[in-house]
Amino acid sequence: MLTQFYHHLLRKYHIAFGSLFKQITLVRNDTTDSNGVEMQRFVVPIEYAPRETWVARLRDDPQIKQQFSTVLPRLAYEMTAMRYDPSRRLNSLNTRVRPIPGDSTNARRYFVGVPYVLVFSLYAITRSIEDANQIMEQVIPYFAPDYTLLVKLFPSIGILDRMRIVMDGNPQWLDTWEGDGFTKTRDVLLTFNFNVAATFYGPIAGTSASLIRKVIVDMYDSSYDASLTDHSYLLTNTYDHLLREDMSGVLLTEEDASSIGDIARVVRIEVVPDPLNAIPVKPVNTTTTITEYSDGRVTNVYVGHDTDIGV
Amino acid sequence: MPTNPYMNWWSDKNEQLLLHELMTEAIQFHGLDVYYLPRIMRREDSLYSEDVLSQFVSIFPIEVYLKNVAGWDGQGNFLNKFGLNIEHTFTVMVSTDRFNEIVPSARMVGGRVSGSSSSTELSGIGTNFGDALRVGEQIMTQTTRQIRTVMSVANNERLTMNAAFDTAVVSEFYVIVPPPNPFPIPSRPMEGDWIYIPLPIDKMFEIKFVENEKAPGQFYPLGTKTFYELSLETFTYSHEEVRTGDPAVDFVETEHAYSQDLVVSLGGSGDYILGETVYQGATAEAPAATGVVALWDANNTVLRITDITGVFANAIPVIGMTSLASRGLGVEVCPLLIPTDLLNDNRYLADADDEFLDTREGDPFKDPFLGGSARC
């Protein structure tokens, strides 16, 4: 809990969301229908709305001589809230393993992320309905009602997440033409609200995990198969008792191992990477070896090697 | 019962003229010289009642009286989602006589026309001249600013001018040049027109409302109206074309309109001229992209253009219509880099998302305008 870490995840989500709208382009033709000749084309500026007042002043009007009110059209966006998303919750004890680039012996292991919904608002302000129409038509077709981006939240580690962006409710259209039109400049304000599926992760860096480089599966052929293939059965480290536990590890039964003395593996399947020191980045080639046995041995899950059970 | 015929408070012309002159003189004594910019509508939208292609090409110096003596009204400086807003409002008085004298009522604008540099003919492009033009009237092409006199209207779509054009006219709008009319048609300040107040105030305003009856002293003294009271607000710029020829005013477009910096470093020669139209394409008549020169840095071969149409392509010459300068575009243009807007994050977002947006399943930013990529 006290380990310092900061993945810049919120910043990345802010950038990724804003990026969707960074190239909205307006074209003004000399006629109101689609047959007109293009007269102007420009990209609509977008910015993250909240800001320091003094920075805004210094950037907008450094010489204190701004000769007008503002320049339209403009886009702005901000994250207005965030809330836990129980619908995407995973078992918090689950971990994922990602390779360390260039390291063929270790990998990083991290707990699955904590799901949150980030609430974003996108605002557009224009001087005319025509401009507002163009912006509206360039935004809404992409959200039906969702649009999903594939984001590399940790580019150096390679963690990929799907950033699902869902338009929340209907866009709002506010035209200020009524009332103060003769004293204040009319503008058209569009507001879009979005829910963005985000995932947050705890510390990752510096944690290494040994890689599984060999998988061994022993197959049996006896009435005790269930005892040896069901994960709830364990052979004691002295291989003289067979234990059966429930999911939480509570002992349910304990039997003398002699009861399984008449069984032994008959087939072993081994899978190893090719080459053996392959860097764990997809795709990894593997070599599978299938061996038939009649040696009366089993694999002891505690000590990790074959054990003669005296068959 | 009729009014007393010996008392004439409503129609004594001499008294009215005196009052007008007194008002004009009072404003000239205590007023301020400003510039009046009439709005020209190029694409009035009859459905939405708006015009997104408004243009300001003429400028008229005129004196006004500032009614605010203690400062601006309005919200002043405030910050909202879209940045810093400066909302000043105030009221000025302008003499009706002086306005009629200074600002002509003719503010008609025609449609688009084209003509070659060796011909006296102009063709309307989707333009029906109809009754808009008469023989003897002068028109000015708005981009190349060539003034010619109409000799005949061959039909509703062709004009013959008094002389061939110096440079080709390529899809330009024209305006009717106001004639020096000894009996000017009364005009009035119009809502939507702009007023620039020069230094030390140095601000541009939009006329929000023209009051001609309600202001104190305005309700028909001696049966006449001697001044207009204009409610002004700092204007909100929306990429209107401002080409008056006066840099003190044209800064609005050259410094604040959407612009692109073209690095024309790939061979060629010549110097571009401020305000001229540049284009890419086989011919000026059918350009692939056009823009208007806002800045030309010959040392660094950087050409800043506004009023852009189309997409400027790399390694293609950029040709000036007036200067005939021709230099090859040496660096691919990034449309997200807006040099006249210091606040936007467009370019930052494009650079920053490169690191972590995975486009293997499809690039959401592919766009024909951007040449298939926003990575610039």
- Tell me: the pLDDT tens digits for B169-215? 887 777 777 655 444 455 789 899 999 999 888 889 999 999 888 77
In sequence order, the 6+-apart residues with CB closer than 8 A to the CB of A286 are A271, A272, A273, A274
* CA–CA min distance B225, chain A (Å): 21
Buried b (16+ CB within 10 A) or exposed e, B230-257: bbbbbbbbbbbbbbbeeeebbbbbbbbb
Contact check, Cβ <8 Å, A16/B206: no
Asked if B48 has any chain A CB less than 8 Å from its own CB, the reply is: yes
In this model, does residue B375 exceed pLDDT 80? no
Q: Cβ of B252 and A68 within 8 Å?
A: yes
CA A106 to chain centre: 22
Q: Which chain B residue has its CA at the smallest distance from A25's CA?
A: B369
Out of A13-27, A111-125, A200-214, B282-296, which region has the weakest mean confidence (pLDDT)?
A200-214
Q: Report the pLDDT value the prediction gives residue B184, as an integer from 0 to 100.
A: 46
pLDDT at A37 over 80: yes
DSSP tag of B192: T
Q: Which CATH number fits domain A9-207: 3.30.1050.10, 3.30.2000.40, 2.40.160.40, 1.10.10.60?
A: 3.30.2000.40
Pairwise CB contact (< 8 Å): A45 & B343: yes
A38/B202 Cβ within 8 A? no
Per-residue pLDDT for B134 more than 90?
no
Of B47, B83, B239, the CB nearest to A70: B83
Query: Which residue among A38, A45, A183 places its CB closest to the CB of B208?
Result: A183
**Interchain CB distance below 8 Å, A40 and B53:** yes
Q: How many CB pairs under 8 A join A and B?
A: 228
Do residue A68 and residue B112 have CB atoms under 8 angstroms apart?
A: no
Among B251, B236, B283, residue whose Cα is nearest residue A125: B236
Report CB contact under 8 Å: B52, A130: yes
- Judged by a CB distance cut-off of 8 A, whether residue B366 touches chain A is no
- Across the interface, of A20, A32, A70, the residue whose CB is closest to B364 is A20
B228 touching A, CB under 8 A?
no
Residue type, B111: G
| More confident of the two residues A176 and A192 | A192
Cross-chain residue pair B350–A22, CB shorter than 8 Å: yes
Question: What's residue B229's pLDDT?
Answer: 93
Q: Do A47 and B82 make contact, defined as CB atoms within 8 angstroms?
A: yes
Q: Which of B42, B50, B346 sits opposite A43 (nearest CB)?
A: B346
- Residue B263 or residue A244, greater confidence: B263
Phi, psi (deg, nearest 5) at residue A283: -85, 145
CA pair distance B143, B354, nearest whole angstrom: 40
Strands B241-242 and B55-56: parallel
Integer Cα distance of B82 and A46 in angstroms: 8
Predicted confidence (pLDDT) per residue in A183-242, tens digit = 788 899 999 999 999 999 888 765 555 677 888 887 766 545 555 556 566 666 666 677
Contact status, residue A264 vs residue A295, Cβ threshold 8 Å: yes
Q: List B residues 242-271 in contact with A (Cβ-Cβ < 8 A).
A: 251-252, 256-258
Output A182 or A80, whichever has higher pLDDT: A80
Q: Where are the domains of chain A?
A: 9-207, 215-308
Cβ <8 Å between A65 and B89: no
What pTM did the predictor assign?
A: 0.77
Smallest Cα distance from A109 to chain B, Å? 20
The token pair at B307 is 């009023």
Contact status, residue B354 vs residue B375, Cβ threshold 8 Å: yes
> Min CA distance, A291 vs chain B (Å)?
41
CB contact under 8 A, B346 and A150: no
Q: How many CB atoms neighbour CB B15 within 10 A? A: 16
